[in-house]
Structure 1
Amino acid sequence: MNITPAGAPTPKMPFLEPDIERALLRAYIDSANDGIFVLCDEMKFHVANPVLAQWLGMSEAELTAHGQRIPITDLFGSAATASQFRHQFAAAAQGQAVRFEVEIRPPRGDTRWVEIGMNRVHLEDGELVIGIVRDTTEQKMLQTALQHLASHDDLTGLFNRRAFRQRLRTLVNAQHAGAVPHALLYVDLDQFKVVNDTCGHAAGDELLHQIGMRLKKLAGSADLVARLGGDEFGLLLHDRPIEEAMKVARSLCEDVAAHRFTWDGRPFEITASVGVCAINRDIPSAEEALSAADAACHVAKDQGRNRAQLYSEGAASKDKRQEMAWVARLQKALEENRFQIWHQRILGLRDTDDADGVHVEMLLRLVDENGEIVAPARFFPAAERYGLMPAIDRWVIQHLLLGGECGRPHQGMPAHCAINLSGASLNDDRFLVFLEDALRRTAIPTTALCFEITETVAVANFARVREVMQRLQNFGCRFALDDFGSGMSSFSYLKNLPVDSLKIDGALVRNIVEDAADLTMVEAIARIGRALGLRTVAEFVESDAILEKLRAVGVDYAQGYAIHRPAPLAADPAPQPGRKG
């Protein structure tokens, strides 16, 4: 062993000759997986590594030939892309580090999406701009597919309810600013159940597809057609007075009635009931417009079906009375403690996932006046519309973490549990203060708690949700994005939200055995989760076949009737016989 004597100068690294340095630099450039270029102030090539030359369909010699060098903008195949590049290049030439994404269509290369980063390099002979080009085509295609999935109905190809509501909100808000009136049509098929029950779901799906196409043909180029759910459709008629909207609604009824649907040689007569609502200054919100049109549609059904009904105060009164009745029932249930906390087991799909204890999601049930158990799907809409969700969430926290009036936590608590928080509660400062106080007082290890927040709430209230997450993380709590994939518009927010898990929307999970597209989406989300270090949980797992598919694509956890049916929390949360974990 060569030991330097004490006090001797430290040996220096060997000096590299300039030629050697250039050779090493060139070797690095040529071996890079990304495209690399060096441009002069005229945006002409001085250097183009093999990867970039291959993408552009030209050799480096062609790109950098003396006296014949080609400006990089000549190879983009798009005037818009070239203009964007010139703008970013000018910023880089001024010393700014820039990064942007564009689509390139080289005349002799393949079309692809790329991310370009550029910086200025100062040399003795002048200044150049160096750029790194990364192929983002696969990510862009995946994002586009998920965006389409988030805004479109798989069966009909029409817009889905979420996209419809967003457009409706835009039109309602424009009315408050004095824009021209629009109209909303709510369409419900009258004989759909007969087709579905007698011929099966395949026949029902085909009928929905055919009706959706007919509605699309009736709509104008500026109008929006959506499937709102089941056999219900919505049309937003842009810049249409109510008189014209009623004509469209009547024509729609006539067109659907004229349609002859046949399945296995059996003909069916199909009709539709249509509710019409003017979108004007009298409509305070998109939710009110949709509720009014829905109420008018019910009146059309009550009056004999196969007709159009214009919304009036009388048409909406029944629906309003029903919702207000739910409000009163919920308030009384809160006063009388007529709620129950249930649980559903979450199964780890890898051998190590359950090593740290049982995982469950906490669920809520209402016990009605007759002692019957009521699922939240029946009363949550009214609770959300009339601001009762913070009170309901408060009840859950009180009884789960503090043991209600007993002053101790629920004895049925598992090792790890997920608790849902509503958007209204997240925006309520008083609720957040209450929750933080409960976390300080509870005897339950706060590290065992995972709060679930729906993706749509997280995106719509990004700054607030992030603030709440950061405050509750101080207690060691974790977070999951619920219904992930149902309303996704971008992945960028995932990098900026301190979430630990993604709960894949059950609408994507339930058909993965038969539907290759759904399976691909679930696999993509699992890959995203792994890349970001997040656990993935699949909901609505209703068969062993689905369970095996989830294991195969790398999903971490599963939840659904195939694993454990919801039960009161006092019941043993252990998995059913024969189940792993």
Structure 2
Amino acid sequence: MRNSKVLERLEFLKVLKDCKRKKCALFVVDIDDFKLVNFSYGYSMGDRVIAAVEKKLVDVVEKYFSECVFGRVGSNSFAVLMKVVDKELSYRRIEEIYTKYLERLNFKIGSDFFSLTTSAGVAFSLGVDDVGNLFKKAEEALYNAKKRGKNCIVFSTNSSSTRFEEIQEIRKRLVEAIEKRSVEPYFQPILSLRTGKIYGYEVLARIFSEGKVLRGDYVIDIANTFNLIPEIDRIVFEKASKYLDKGYKLFFNLSMKYFFKELNNIWRMVKDRGLNSSNIVIEITESQKVMEMNVAKSIFQIFRDMDAKIAIDDFGSGYSSFSYLKRFPADILKIDGEFVKGAKRDKRDLTIMKSIVEVARPFRLRVLAEFIEDEEDYRLMKEIGVSLGQGWFIGKPKPEPYDVRIDI
């Protein structure tokens, strides 16, 4: 079992099936956030990066394992089937391959230097698992690596099999909801604290299965892992867009993992339908990867071409928050909710919030505070000069935009 050629997915799975009675390990590696490379440098350069990663994987693994087969099982993911003689030794070797050679990959394109990270999952067969179980276990381990924040390796264990079955069931329900378009926009009001009147609404997704909302943060995590977020957000935008021409400002929070694809989807719908894009506010979560890829100017130009507004979400949560004001000439700063929740009892949180308000003033930026949960929060945010507010005290998400007026 040795083949330095990298097989296509179907060929690789056939080899895997033929080896089902042997002791082996399946090592799956996925390049994190690879879409950023294609967007920043083009698909041709992306193909060159894939080829470089592929070559490195083959060269490194063959130094450690005499019998192995390589496959490309996704657009930016690879798998290696290795013969196992000693499981503990193989475990240590695979871990060393990942941490020493694949955990972080450095590239130079022209004058730009950048690095990519990978996530990996590993499953072992002792000759009793069929191809379905082995591949499922490796995918499960890779999923857990992504769930932990990416850039790590996870080895499959039998104890997590039940959890993986639950994940697959939720994935199935998500796919069905997308196919049936059982995804609905909900609207949470954003209030002007100066006038007490509605400024706009944040648009949130509610996914229905068998007549009930799929709840829990893990649902979005699973949708993100299985690349379902763009379809969910596309349906939400399509259904919510009818309110743009009614004068409502709508805030859409795009996933950074699929940011460029989602932005392109919105841009296309705006042009095709002649939507009033001046009422669109796109929330950009602080993302160091976007800055590293040197695409800030391109993103800003797309927004200006659309006549849309930019809100920096979770402002203050990163170490380089204020540098975003230089790179992204934003319209709105949405303060990280942790500062809002802590402002009543922690003077440091309150001081940080006051500083953000003061910095925003000469740039004529609006400052939005989320997590306003009671009247005390509302009064405090208004007192320090925050211009916009959002939270359950102001209004909960509902299926239609609705009016709110607070006179305090």
Give the TM interval when normalised to the shorter protein. Answer: 0.5 to 0.7
State the AA in 2 paired with 1:545.
E
Q: Indicate whether 1:287 and 2:145 are aligned.
A: yes
Which of 397, 400, 416 is matched with 2:240 structurally? Answer: 400
CA contact (8 A) 2:310 2:330 kept: yes
Q: Indicate whether 1:553 and 2:384 are aligned.
A: yes
CA contact (8 A) 2:244 2:279 kept: no
Shift of 1:432: 4.0
Equivalent position of 1:420 in the other structure = 253
Closer/same/farther in 2, CA of residues 312 and 445 from structure 1, 3 Å limit? closer
Report % sequence identity: 27
Which of 373, 380, 388 is matched with 2:228 structurally? Answer: 388
Bigger Rg, which one: 1
Q: After the TM superposition, which residues 254-265 of structure 1 pair with which residues of structure 2 at under 5 Å, given as runs?
A: none
**TM-score scaled to structure 2, two decimals?**
0.60
CA contact (8 A) 2:286 2:321 kept: no
Query: For 2:147 and 2:377, how far apart are their aligned partners in 1?
Result: 39
CA contact (8 A) 1:479 1:499 kept: yes
State the AA in 2 paired with 1:421.
L
Equivalent position of 2:330 in the other structure = 499
Query: For 1:432 and 1:312, how far apart are their aligned partners in 2?
Result: 36
Shift of 1:568: 0.8
CA contact (8 A) 1:345 1:564 kept: yes
How many residue pairs are counted as aligned between the two chains?
Answer: 275
State the AA in 2 paired with 1:510.
K
Closer/same/farther in 2, CA of residues 558 and 289 from structure 1, 3 Å limit? closer
Unaligned runs of 5+ in 2: 1-94, 104-140
Which of 493, 509, 512 is matched with 2:340 structurally? Answer: 509
List 4+ stretches of structure 1 deviating above 4 A: 171-174, 283-286, 410-414, 457-462
Shift of 1:534: 1.6
Shift of 1:328: 1.5
Equivalent position of 1:363 in the other structure = 204
Which of 296, 311, 314 is matched with 1:483 structurally? Answer: 314
Query: For 1:474 and 1:411, how far apart are their aligned partners in 2?
Result: 17
Higher relative contact order (CA 8 A, sep 6+): 2
Q: Indicate whether 1:339 and 2:339 are aligned.
A: no
Query: For 2:147 and 2:199, how far apart are their aligned partners in 1?
Result: 45
State the AA in 2 paired with 1:377.
D
State the AA in 2 paired with 1:381.
D
Shift of 1:562: 0.9
Closer/same/farther in 2, CA of residues 289 and 535 from structure 1, 3 Å limit? closer
Unaligned runs of 5+ in 1: 1-170, 180-282, 297-310, 402-408
**TM-score scaled to structure 1, two decimals?**
0.43
State the AA in 1 paired with 2:329.
P
State the AA in 1 paired with 2:278.
T
Tell me the SS of whatever aligns to 1:494: helix
Q: After the TM superposition, which residues 5-154 of structure 1 pair with which residues of structure 2 at under 5 Å, given as runs?
A: none
Q: Indicate whether 1:177 and 2:101 are aligned.
A: yes
Query: For 1:313 and 1:537, how far apart are their aligned partners in 2?
Result: 45
Shift of 1:387: 1.3
Equivalent position of 2:173 in the other structure = 329
CA contact (8 A) 2:245 2:275 kept: no
Query: For 2:175 and 2:147, how far apart are their aligned partners in 1?
Result: 26
Shift of 1:504: 0.7
Deviations 1:259-287 (A, max 9, x none): xxxxxxxxxxxxxxxxxxxxxxxx86983
State the AA in 2 paired with 1:424.
K
Which of 435, 445, 458 is matched with 2:266 structurally? Answer: 435
- Output the aligned Cα RMSD: 3.3
CA contact (8 A) 1:513 1:546 kept: yes
Query: For 1:178 and 1:480, how far apart are their aligned partners in 2?
Result: 35
Deviations 1:88-124 (A, max 9, x none): xxxxxxxxxxxxxxxxxxxxxxxxxxxxxxxxxxxxx
Query: For 1:313 and 1:488, how far apart are their aligned partners in 2?
Result: 36
Query: For 1:470 and 1:522, how far apart are their aligned partners in 2?
Result: 29
